[in-house]
Amino acid sequence: MSTPSVVREAVARRLEAFVAHIRTEAAGYGPDAGAFLTSASATLDGGKRLRARFCHAGWSTVAGADATADDTVWDVSAALEIFQSAALVHDDIIDNSDTRRGRPSAHRAFEHDHRTAGWSGDATGFGRSAAVLLGDLLVAWSDDLLEQALRAHPHADAVRAEYARMRRDVTIGQFLDIAEESAWSVNDDSEHAERALRIVSLKSARYSVEQPLLIGAALAGADASQQSALRGFGHPLGLAFQLRDDVLGVFGDESVTGKPSGDDLREGKRTLLIAWTREELAPAARRSIDELVGDANLTNDQIGSLQAIIVESGALERVEDLIAQYAAEADHALEGAKLDAGALEELRALAQAATTRTS
């Protein structure tokens, strides 16, 4: 059975080796390219490594808790973490986020570098363009490491299929997310909650939990019944994971999350919390909420007022109840599954951490 620190350390070693190889290949590209690679590498530092942990946990449920993971397992886990970094870079551009993990987001860092160097042109535009390319580079790195790991692997096709689905779903989910923010005012109020949950499913649930689990299980040669049990576990758990993220995006402690409290309100995220809050408000109050959510200049007092409205509407309690419901549904899916008992104990502990976290 592997502790979180074992997974983090193993993934860190594989990432370090991969980036060192990339740097060697790009040694003749010049100092600007070298700085760009340094920026890409920096995005891989830190984080909870949840996707790597779910990938390893999925592998363990089939291979056995006492089995020793080889470099292939760690490389695929590391590839998932690189893809996560790519998604975060692009997500911060879309959301106009200034910070990530307590540091400037990639586009803001590039913007700062442009100004500091005294370059000509629009520093803000440069920062966004450079960050788009940085995210694209990280997607390529993720694919490169995955293919390196799967070379001649007996279950390569099954792993690739799950990985490909993950990439497609999260991209479509991200589009639905930005489309929802734009079309919110013209969509039927009665559909807002359903649409919010669809986004959660595609953008996060499958990509954060379900697919990493299935990718790990596929590496170990999982059969159809094992994959079905893990899918039945991973999807509702992934929904609970993202709903917890939505709660933290409104009520989280900046010193813990690394992002300002209420940042999702400033960014205009149309989450289930907001949908259910609006359901309980009179039309005039709904219009007031709609005017505030998405205002990048919301004051702390306005954030506090919105937080109070969400709590008083009962939306926060409903979301917390749904998180618990999804967590129970996930646990039920594992009953009678042909999976290693010791590994399932580790998986359940990981599930508990993912749904009760504070960052």
| pLDDT per residue as tens digits for the range 44-67 | 998 889 999 999 999 999 999 999
Q: What is the pLDDT of residue 184?
A: 78
Find the helix or strand (DSSP H, E) in which 103 lies.
strand 103-104
| pLDDT per residue as tens digits for the range 167-198 | 999 999 999 999 988 887 777 888 999 999 99
- Which amino acid belongs to residue 46? G
- This prediction's pTM: 0.93
Average pLDDT over residues 208-230: 98
Lowest mean pLDDT among 85-89, 268-272, 339-343: 268-272
Q: What is the pLDDT of residue 2?
A: 67
Q: What is the pLDDT of residue 3?
A: 78
| pLDDT per residue as tens digits for the range 286-315 | 988 999 999 999 999 999 999 999 999 999
Q: Are 239 and 201 in contact (CB under 8 A)?
A: yes
Q: What is the pLDDT of residue 190?
A: 85
Q: What is the pLDDT of residue 219?
A: 98
| pLDDT per residue as tens digits for the range 12-21 | 999 999 999 9
3-state secondary structure of 100: strand
Token pair in block for residue 171: 């991209």
- Which amino acid belongs to residue 225? S
Average pLDDT over residues 324-334: 96
What's the CA gap between 156 and 142, in Å, rounded? Answer: 15
Token pair in block for residue 91: 């997500």
Q: What is the pLDDT of residue 258?
A: 73
Lowest mean pLDDT among 97-101, 116-120, 158-162, 320-324: 97-101
Alpha helices in 26-65 (DSSP H): 31-42, 50-63
What's the CA gap between 233 and 213, in Å, rounded? Answer: 9
Sign (positive or negative) of CA dihedral 232, 238, 241, 247: negative
Query: Cα angle vertex 135, ends 130, 140, to 5°?
Result: 120
Average pLDDT, the chain: 94
Report the chain's terminal Cα–Cα distance, integer Å.
24
Q: Confidence band (pLDDT; 50, 70, 90) for 259?
A: confident
Q: Confidence band (pLDDT; 50, 70, 90) for 71?
A: very high
What's the CA gap between 347 and 226, in Å, rounded? Answer: 14
Flag whether pLDDT at 326 surpasses 90: yes
Find the helix or strand (DSSP H, E) in which 210 lies.
none
Q: Confidence band (pLDDT; 50, 70, 90) for 1?
A: low
| pLDDT per residue as tens digits for the range 227-248 | 999 999 999 999 999 999 999 9
Average pLDDT over residues 332-336: 96
Q: Confidence band (pLDDT; 50, 70, 90) for 102?
A: confident
Q: How far is CA 255 from the centre of its chain?
A: 20
Q: Are 268 and 306 in contact (CB under 8 A)?
A: no
Which domains does the chain possess?
4-353 (1.10.600.10)
What's the CA gap between 291 and 308, in Å, rounded? Answer: 16
Q: Confidence band (pLDDT; 50, 70, 90) for 254?
A: confident
For the chain, give the percent of residues with pLDDT over 70.
Answer: 99
What's the CA gap between 268 and 266, in Å, rounded? Answer: 5
